Chains A and B, each alone.
Chain A
Amino acid sequence: MGEDKVAVMIPRELYEKIVEKIAGTSFTSVEEYLVLLLENEFPEETEYSAEEEALIRERLKKLGYIE
């Protein structure tokens, strides 16, 4: 396991339910499924440079989307 990953324990019963749930889907592992669920819970924030933020804010104001 690489340094950018950590192990998390989950109850075996839950693990087996997930195995059953992802059978026949595009998920290749329980880990992949859980990572997706958690990514949906903590979506990546879009990052903006200060210059881009200023430009977008100005445009949205001009168009009446924000005040």
Chain B
Amino acid sequence: MERLTAPDCVEKASEEASELTALQVSEEIRLDFENIAFGLYSPLAGPLNQDDYLTVLAKGRLVDDLPWTIPILLDLTEAEASGFGVGDRVALACEGESFAVLDVEEEYGWDRKLHCERVYKTSDPAHPGVAKTHEMRPVLVGGCVEVFNPSPGKYPKYRLKPRETRFLFREKGWRTVAGFQTRNAPHLGHEYVQKTALSFVDGLFINPLIGKKKSGDFTDEVILETYEAAFKHYFLRNSATMVTLEMEMRYAGPREAIHHAIVRKNYGCSHFIVGRDHAGVGNYYGPFEAQEIFEDYPDLGITPIFFRNFFHCKRCGGPQNDKICPHGAEDHVNYSGTKMRSLLLEGKRPDETMMRPEVVDVILRHKEPFNP
């Protein structure tokens, strides 16, 4: 379901918006609303109303029982919310640029502690999602959004809407597609997981998450360029493609894994790869909690592919996982992102059993390959 203004109505929508009360929103909220408009967050039509919000917190589902785990919200100050009422139409702007209209259906208060405990399973302020929640404003507004002026995106070349990716998969003849979420330059462990999935689906959909990330993460440019290098040198032509997803990481572990799966389903993927500690941070979630939660969502409409621990086995002579390798820990070398980062920071090359030389070349070409 798209919530984009038809091209021939954009001018009129823009004129109408200029006469409405305008609310300034953050870049993250703009991205969320654009994702609603593109159909990435289908079936959402706008920021959650109270009943849906409370049901999402309680059950990880919308009122109509459809799976939904991450609340998509519009938070305002009391002063902002007092400028309009239920039934009004308001304009939404980001950095002074008007981009959408919102038909206001509800204004309501909320409980930050409950929110954190349900979404993040912790109220520890050291958790980045909890910290962010405490910065949010006291009034939530629910309603239906329509975007008439979507931003081109940080990397327009890689930003496709679900209707476009579905068309692309059809054109490529891919009946089954595995989605792979990433925030990293690929190492051989990633490639092993992707190719294992590719051996039983038609296509691989690499979907790097573009947006605010942790300090020390690879920059977006490095992620895109390293995947292009990996595709060129190590993947069959027409077996993989890459599209960016502009969305904030919440680090909500299991709940976010379900959210990520829903988004990939909306892109048209039939499968979604879920690794160890997907969307986790620190020690807030068990290593396989983000896989176990899928048992509660048999009606998700996308098939998860789970990977547990994978490593380089010196005796097998290549990437392996703990389900298939008979050798002991003394023969295993973990694909440690931290270790590879430390080497790269010193301008050194990780071993070729860890990272492809062409990928390393790309990283080392960048003066600052990591987020400050």
Known: A48-B163, A56-B167, A65-B241. A40 touches B301 (CB 8 A): yes
Q: Does residue A23 face the partner (Cβ distance < 8 Å to B)?
A: no
Q: For the complex, give the distance between the alpha carbons of A39 and B270 in Å.
A: 12
Contact B167–A53 (Cβ < 8 Å) = yes
Q: How many residues belonging to A are interface residues under a CB distance threshold of 8 Å?
A: 21
Known: A60-B168, A66-B168. A26 touches B65 (CB 8 A): yes
Q: Which of A27, A46, A52, A53 contacts B299 (CB 8 A)?
A: A27
Return B223 CB to nearest CB of chain A, in Å: 18
For A65, list chain B residues within 8 Å (CB): 160, 168, 241
Return A46 CB to nearest CB of chain B, in Å: 5
Contact B166–A66 (Cβ < 8 Å) = no
Return A44 CB to nearest CB of chain B, in Å: 11
> Which of B241, B299, B303 counts the most chain A CB atoms within 10 A?
B299
Chain B minimum-CB-distance residue to A32: B299
Q: How many residues belonging to B are interface residues under a CB distance threshold of 8 Å?
A: 20
Q: Does residue B268 face the partner (Cβ distance < 8 Å to A)?
A: yes
Known: A26-B61, A46-B268, A63-B157. A57 touches B167 (CB 8 A): yes
Number of A-B contacts (CB under 8 A): 45
Q: Which of A25, A27, A46, A57 contacts B166 (CB 8 A)?
A: A46
Chain B minimum-CB-distance residue to A39: B301
Q: For the complex, give the distance between the alpha carbons of A42 and B191 in Å.
A: 30
Chain A minimum-CB-distance residue to B171: A66
Chain A minimum-CB-distance residue to B298: A25
Q: Interface digits, A24-67 against B, CB 8 Å rule (1 contact, 0 not)? A: 01110000010010011001011010001100110110011110
Chain A minimum-CB-distance residue to B158: A63
CB interface residues, B 20-73, toward A, < 8 Å: 61, 65
Q: Interface digits, B277-313 against A, CB 8 Å rule (1 contact, 0 not)? A: 0000000000000000000101101010000000000
Q: For the complex, give the distance between the alpha carbons of A52 and B172 in Å.
A: 18
Q: For the complex, give the distance between the alpha carbons of A27 and B297 in Å.
A: 10
For B241, list chain A residues within 8 Å (CB): 65
Contact B164–A60 (Cβ < 8 Å) = yes
Q: For the complex, give the distance between the alpha carbons of A35 and B157 in Å.
A: 38
Q: For the complex, give the distance between the alpha carbons of A57 and B61 in Å.
A: 36
Contact A66–B163 (Cβ < 8 Å) = no
Q: For the complex, give the distance between the alpha carbons of A36 and B300 in Å.
A: 9
For B270, list chain A residues within 8 Å (CB): 43
For A43, list chain B residues within 8 Å (CB): 270
> What would be 14 A-B contacts, judged by CB atoms less than 8 Å apart?
A25-B298, A26-B61, A26-B65, A27-B299, A36-B301, A40-B301, A56-B167, A57-B171, A59-B164, A60-B160, A60-B164, A60-B168, A66-B168, A66-B172
9 extra A-B contacts, CB within 8 A, seeds A36-B299, A46-B166, A60-B167: A36-B301, A43-B270, A48-B163, A57-B167, A59-B164, A60-B168, A65-B168, A66-B168, A66-B172
Residues on B lying within 8 angstroms of A by beta carbon are 61, 65, 157, 160, 163-164, 166-168, 170-172, 241, 268, 270, 296, 298-299, 301, 303
